[in-house]
Structure 1
Amino acid sequence: MRSVIYTASKFSAAFLCSQSSRKSKSFISAAAFHLRKMVHYLTEQRGRPDSTDYRIYFKTSDGKYISPFHDIPLCVADEQILFNMVVEVPRWSNAKLEIATKEPLNPIKQDVKKGKLRYVANIFPHKGYIWNYGALPQTWEDPNHTDKETRCCGDNDPIDVCEISSKVCVPGQVIQVKVLGILALIDEGETDWKVIAINIEDPDASSLNSIEDVRKIKPGYLEATVDWLKKYKVPDGKPENKFAFNGQFKDKDFAIEVIKSTHSFWKALVMRKKMKGDEIVCQNTSLCDSPLKCSDAEASAVVQAAAEYGEPLAVSSEVDKWHFFAK
């Protein structure tokens, strides 16, 4: 096995977090929360990278295994509106890594389609993913809820984040981000929100407080984001993706409302007593009110049953191919 340690400060509660903004009301009263000291998250790799059995499991600094989907709090204690982000894919890389929502403890794994590992194409001039890509824990885009704005149901995943700082992160890293805006991708008829955010440790973080600030300080980045999301499936023979709001970014306050909504859907999800075989796995180790809370021994058994860590497998040279499309 191979482990890596990450650090995150958090402001935690059983399910909800306290947030405030000029236009957004707090999630719930701050009296329901308590401030904890710096928390260290470990990741433990299992299986062989670039193989179908590769997994990245999460645990606390005292060795207790957790779900990055359910046990890492959404919110961070700070004067600003900050969130924990679980990094799935580093900028400039191609492997489509994601939280395995339908596996016990929800490790990060590489997506598989038709028996083959998925890699996103290099669409000139973009090399792999153009941001650090990941998800907000304790959020869920409900596939049974039709969004009043997009008129499409959710995509059954945690809400996605495109993190635009200059630092290249690593899979499984937990960082604190400031939300700047949001884009509504319509992926095969489903709402697939993309939160635009920046790591608070980035030198530009203090200057970036809105989607308009991104236009001024990082000109072209938002346009490149739309272009990438529109075309990234075209090399696989699929049509260009569509967007709600004519592909326009919504502001920070709109984004916060979407996050609040997906957080409430997640809360209802983890309170379900039974899950069907093809549904989201809500096994967790910290949510006392959840009927799906498991013991530390049960969580450890999940990881121990996974394949031992091994050397990475060779990646096909096709992953480095460039694809060109007319504007």
Structure 2
Amino acid sequence: MSGYSIEERAAPYSLEYRLFLKNAKGEYISPFHDIPIQAAENVFHMVVEVPRWTNAKMEIATKDPLNPIKQDVKKGKLRYIANVFPHKGYIWNYGAIPQTWEDPGHKDQHTGCCGDNDPIDVCDIGSKVCSRGEVIKVKVLGILAMIDEGETDWKVIAINVDDPDAASYSNIEDVRKLKPGYLEATVEWFRKYKVPDGKPENEFAFNAEFKDKDFATDIIQGTHAHWKALVAKKTDGGGLNCTNTTVEGSPFKCSMESAREIVRALPLPCESACTVPTDVDKWFYYQGK
């Protein structure tokens, strides 16, 4: 896990649940701000929010101090992603690349839409089912430009560098060749996953075509530049919380003691998770337009 560890507070699948990350020294850090964007040349860090096959919509809490992972809430209820035939939960390990930000004040030149105010999303296509809060190193292969309710929501396609087959993948065409149908399934997943909740199908730029590794890397670096401005207070982040423990020169940097106080103020970990609603396992058959 690249020297990182986790600490959970309250019970999973509860409104109070939070998962904090710690570095190799056991110090609390923000997965949004304190984990370096890159682990090596052409290798990026990924924070796993949602393990493959699971449904709970876990995400980095961008508005909470230290940005722990928590479950998304809509209309007062914990959010679970529906199973749209033929899929069960998420079909990749899903998460974010740290030290990136899709600026809602920046209109993307490729999509004509502004950013979604989150770190950039990434789908790990490796064979391992990762754990929530795990920090992995990934090789970027390509990118999909989803338009989510009028906002640009890039989806980076990557593979865990520790995957047994990682050496066989260098670009998006390798995914098409070695895992036939996976990219098409990815588009369909993102197109339809909100339909059971009464939302319209999501749309895509570039006619839902994947762009290659170089294009993806440029987009990631652009979101890294937006993050730099955010954490330096050169851009107004609105309600985003930029508290961090390691970013030199950031006016939001706090002491380790302050970070500990943030975590101590929350409920202690629970022995058992709360009950997941039974309808989370319901399957939806939706043929599309």
Contact 1:150 1:184 in 2 (8 A): yes
**Unaligned segments of structure 1, at least 5 residues:** 1-5, 9-39
Where does residue 178 of structure 1 map in the other structure? 139
Contact 1:120 1:128 in 2 (8 A): yes
Two-structure CA RMSD over aligned residues (Å): 1.2
Aligned counterparts of 2:234 and 2:122: Cα–Cα separation in 1:
29
Contact 1:179 1:255 in 2 (8 A): yes
Contact 2:11 2:17 in 1 (8 A): yes
Aligned counterparts of 1:270 and 1:132: Cα–Cα separation in 2:
27
Contact 1:273 1:291 in 2 (8 A): no
1:306 aligns with one of 259, 266, 269:
266
Where does residue 68 of structure 1 map in the other structure? 31
Segment of structure 1 superposing worse, 155-164 or 266-275 = 266-275
Alignment of 1:243-258 (within 5 A): 243-258=204-219
Matched, 1:291 2:251: yes
Contact 2:229 2:235 in 1 (8 A): no
Where does residue 36 of structure 1 map in the other structure? none
Matched, 1:232 2:202: no
SS for the counterpart of 2:159 is strand
Aligned counterparts of 1:212 and 1:273: Cα–Cα separation in 2:
38
Segment of structure 1 superposing worse, 53-62 or 313-322 = 53-62
Where does residue 16 of structure 1 map in the other structure? none
> If the length of structure 2 is used for normalisation, what is the TM-score?
0.97
Matched, 1:208 2:169: yes
Where does residue 55 of structure 1 map in the other structure? 18
Contact 1:275 1:281 in 2 (8 A): no
Aligned counterparts of 2:229 and 2:23: Cα–Cα separation in 1:
25
Q: What amino acid does structure 1 have at the position aligned with 2:103? A: D
**Unaligned segments of structure 2, at least 5 residues:** none
Aligned counterparts of 1:249 and 1:296: Cα–Cα separation in 2:
42
SS for the counterpart of 1:182 is strand
Matched, 1:279 2:235: no
Matched, 1:193 2:154: yes
Aligned counterparts of 2:236 and 2:110: Cα–Cα separation in 1:
29
Aligned counterparts of 1:77 and 1:213: Cα–Cα separation in 2:
22
Percent identity between the aligned chains?
Answer: 64
Aligned counterparts of 1:203 and 1:274: Cα–Cα separation in 2:
41
Q: What amino acid does structure 1 have at the position aligned with 2:195? A: V
Contact 2:230 2:236 in 1 (8 A): no
Give the deviation of 1:61 after TM superposition.
2.6
Matched, 1:167 2:128: yes
Aligned counterparts of 1:232 and 1:60: Cα–Cα separation in 2:
34
Give the deviation of 1:274 after TM superposition.
9.5
Contact 1:273 1:292 in 2 (8 A): no
Query: Which segments of structure 1 move beyond 4 Å, counting only runs of 4 or more?
Result: 273-276
Where does residue 18 of structure 1 map in the other structure? none
Q: Per-residue displacement from partner, 1:138-195 (whole Å, max 9, x unpaired)?
A: 0000000000110000000000001100100010000000000000000000000000
Where does residue 5 of structure 2 map in the other structure? 42
Aligned counterparts of 2:32 and 2:99: Cα–Cα separation in 1:
6
Aligned counterparts of 2:56 and 2:47: Cα–Cα separation in 1:
16
Where does residue 268 of structure 1 map in the other structure? 229
Contact 2:54 2:89 in 1 (8 A): yes
CA gap of 1:146–1:116, structure 2 versus 1, over 3 A, is same
Aligned counterparts of 1:152 and 1:279: Cα–Cα separation in 2:
20
Aligned counterparts of 1:273 and 1:221: Cα–Cα separation in 2:
40
Aligned counterparts of 1:268 and 1:96: Cα–Cα separation in 2:
28
Alignment of 1:119-130 (within 5 A): 119-130=80-91
